[in-house]
DNA sequence: ACGCGCCTGTGATCGCAGTCACATTCCTGC
DNA sequence: GCAGGAATGTGACTGCGATCACAGGCGCGT
């Protein structure tokens, strides 16, 4: 496989989209640029670094491990995203580890310089506000799901979140590539066996369809209904 | 019971501590002031209001209900706290309901005016950043606990969070007043029966001690250890 | 082509904790 | 002091899903 080294630019980072090119280039120069191979740790939970990192190329996930070695997934990042704001803002240790899932090009800015940017550029400030708000809401949804949904319902919910609209067939959604079930399990806080059984149970309904590393969701609305019926308690009366 | 109407001032709201008195008074004038009785809804989840509310007096909790009626607690607020920033920032519906747990005096500022404040006062901006970061971290911890701790361990963890140091006896911590077990259950995402059994099981160890509406934690560190041993999976080898 | 490692799929077992049911105790107002 | 409602305490039952175990299958490198 030929290696095409991705260009070292921050132009694809949405957070900086309102800055003029001069300023962006200035920041690019202040960054520490690194490449990570799939599986490598970009950031270690609990460490005291304050850098904010921009994912220019590749994809990564935020996760943590329980004492017993169980892996809990928190978020996934793709090109254009950033992480590490929390520690820059509150000067606390990193709340999660970040692991590269594909080859990654990462630009890291010191926490100080990130804070300067927040102070000087209101547009950036508000984008970060927006992002933190999104994070809080996403966490709250997850807490609700963990507290009220049965394991298989959480898996379905995760599938819906991963699915993206298929341009070719309107109304159809795809997950491509379907990640290892172990990874889905870590995001739904269950085991890969349960993920497998949950998906298997869904085949007969025709709501999902698997072709190689693609998984098609043919009827989002109906799947949503099934999730509701799998409420942890009352066998499905609202 | 004699009613002492609390004064309508924002001087006890930490968020405004860096503002001069003139500005604070200006904001006080722009607020809508309301009183809520225990049990009343201050805010309804899902509604489209954008106001930010300051809890001047009393206490309240943020919670949501599952379809089956189960109550999930997210946070508790006491005098000096505020809530509603999320909707002001991202213009999305309210993420949770807020219910008064004691009689409350609440001052509400329009989302627009709150955003103006953010734009004009960096000190306020950064306090809000700080707060959002704290919320994200707290949520992440809760997700970890839900995913990896057994129910009783989550209860103990919640007890530790509620306990405050007892000035009289160093090393001893108190929860006062101990809220109804149902409420603890909703914060630990379990049932009041399980909360009861969890606490009961702890009495013989002497780690906690109950006197009326006080619950004393005599050895925080040891309780923390017990939580670790109750990892959902591996019976307690790190 | 072959083999090794990682995924996938599925059965069997079993303990935790949610649910239901009921007795008891604690408040608070009259 | 008494009555009624809420909160607490406890036993019995049961189903979900974590765990363990193992049998294919798929891909990838040499």
* pLDDT class of A237 with cuts at 50, 70, 90: very low
- Interatomic CA distance for residues A148 and B142, integer angstroms: 14
Residues A146, B147: C-beta atoms closer than 8 Å:
yes
pLDDT digits (tens, 9 = 90+) for B81-131: 999 999 999 999 999 999 999 999 999 999 999 999 999 999 999 999 999
Query: Which residues 6+ apart lie within 8 Å of A3 measured at CB?
Result: none
* pLDDT class of B231 with cuts at 50, 70, 90: confident
Of A50, A72, A52, the C-alpha closest to A62 is A72
Q: B237 pLDDT exceeds 90?
A: no
> Tell me, what's the pLDDT at B5?
63
| pLDDT-above-70 percentage for chain B | 95
Give the CA count within 13 Å in the CB-facing half-sphere of A72: 23
- Distance from A211 to chain B by nearest Cα, in Å? 31
What residues pair up with B109 in beta bridges, in sequence order? B52
Q: B68 pLDDT exceeds 90?
A: no
> Tell me, what's the pLDDT at A230?
87
**Whether the bond into B177 is cis, omega within 30 of 0:** yes
The answer to whether the beta carbon of residue B150 comes closer than 7 angstroms to any atom of strand C is yes
Q: B180 pLDDT exceeds 90?
A: yes
Rounded mean pLDDT of B200-210? Answer: 95
Interface of A with B in 209-238 (CB under 8 A): 228, 231-234, 237-238
Rounded mean pLDDT of B58-75? Answer: 94
> Tell me, what's the pLDDT at A5?
63
Instruction: Name the DSSP class of A149.
Output: B
> Tell me, what's the pLDDT at B233?
63
- Interatomic CA distance for residues A215 and A207, integer angstroms: 10
Rounded mean pLDDT of B164-187? Answer: 95
Q: A51 pLDDT exceeds 90?
A: yes
- Interatomic CA distance for residues A69 and B148, integer angstroms: 10
| pLDDT-above-90 percentage for chain B | 89
Query: Which residues 6+ apart lie within 8 Å of A214 measured at CB?
Result: A174, A175, A176, A177, A178
B217 CA → C18 C1’, Å: 27
* pLDDT class of A4 with cuts at 50, 70, 90: low
Q: B196 pLDDT exceeds 50?
A: yes
Best mutation target, B119, B136, B154, to test chain A (most A CBs within 10 A): B136
Q: A1 pLDDT exceeds 50?
A: no
- Interatomic CA distance for residues B73 and B213, integer angstroms: 21
Best mutation target, A72, A145, A147, to test chain B (most B CBs within 10 A): A147
Residue B5 or residue B178, greater confidence: B178
Rounded mean pLDDT of B149-165? Answer: 97
pLDDT digits (tens, 9 = 90+) for A144-161: 999 999 999 999 999 999
pLDDT digits (tens, 9 = 90+) for A63-121: 999 988 899 999 999 999 999 999 999 999 999 999 999 999 999 999 999 999 999 99
Instruction: Name the DSSP class of A150.
Output: -
| Average pLDDT over chain B, rounded to an integer | 93
> Tell me, what's the pLDDT at B1?
42
Q: What is the sign of the dihedral through the CA atoms of A174, A179, A182 and A184?
A: negative
| Nearest CB to B233 within list A68, A72, A234 | A68
Prediction pTM value: 0.95
List C-alpha distances in Å: A47 to A31, A42, A93.
Answer: 20, 12, 5
> Tell me, what's the pLDDT at B69?
86
End-to-end CA distance of chain B: 53
> Tell me, what's the pLDDT at A94?
98
Residues A66, B189: C-beta atoms closer than 8 Å:
no
> Tell me, what's the pLDDT at B186?
97
């Amino acid at each position: 496989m030929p290696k095409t080294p991705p260009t070292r630019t921050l132009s694809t980072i949405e957070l900086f989209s309102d800055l003029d090119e001069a300023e962006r280039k200035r920041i690019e120069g202040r960054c520490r640029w690194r490449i990570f191979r799939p599986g490598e740790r970009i950031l270690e939970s609990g460490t005291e670094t304050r850098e904010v990192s921009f994912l220019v190329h590749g994809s990564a996930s935020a996760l943590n491990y329980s004492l017993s070695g169980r892996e809990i997934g928190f978020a996934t990042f793709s090109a254009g995203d950033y992480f590490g704001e929390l520690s820059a803002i509150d000067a606390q240790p990193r709340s999660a580890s970040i692991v590269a899932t594909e080859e990654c090009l990462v630009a890291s800015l010191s926490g100080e310089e990130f804070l300067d940017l927040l102070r000087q550029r209101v547009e950036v400030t508000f984008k970060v506000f927006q992002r933190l708000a999104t994070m809080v809401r996403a966490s709250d949804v997850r807490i609700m799901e963990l507290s009220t949904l049965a394991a298989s319902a959480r898996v379905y919910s995760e599938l819906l979140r991963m699915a993206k609209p298929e341009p070719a067939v309107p109304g159809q959604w795809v997950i491509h590539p379907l990640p290892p079930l172990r990874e889905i399990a870590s995001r739904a806080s269950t085991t890969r066996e349960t993920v497998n059984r949950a998906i298997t149970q869904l085949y007969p309904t025709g709501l999902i369809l698997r072709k190689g590393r693609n998984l098609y969701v043919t009827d989002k609305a109906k799947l949503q209904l099934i999730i509701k019926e799998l409420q942890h308690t009352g066998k499905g009366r609202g």
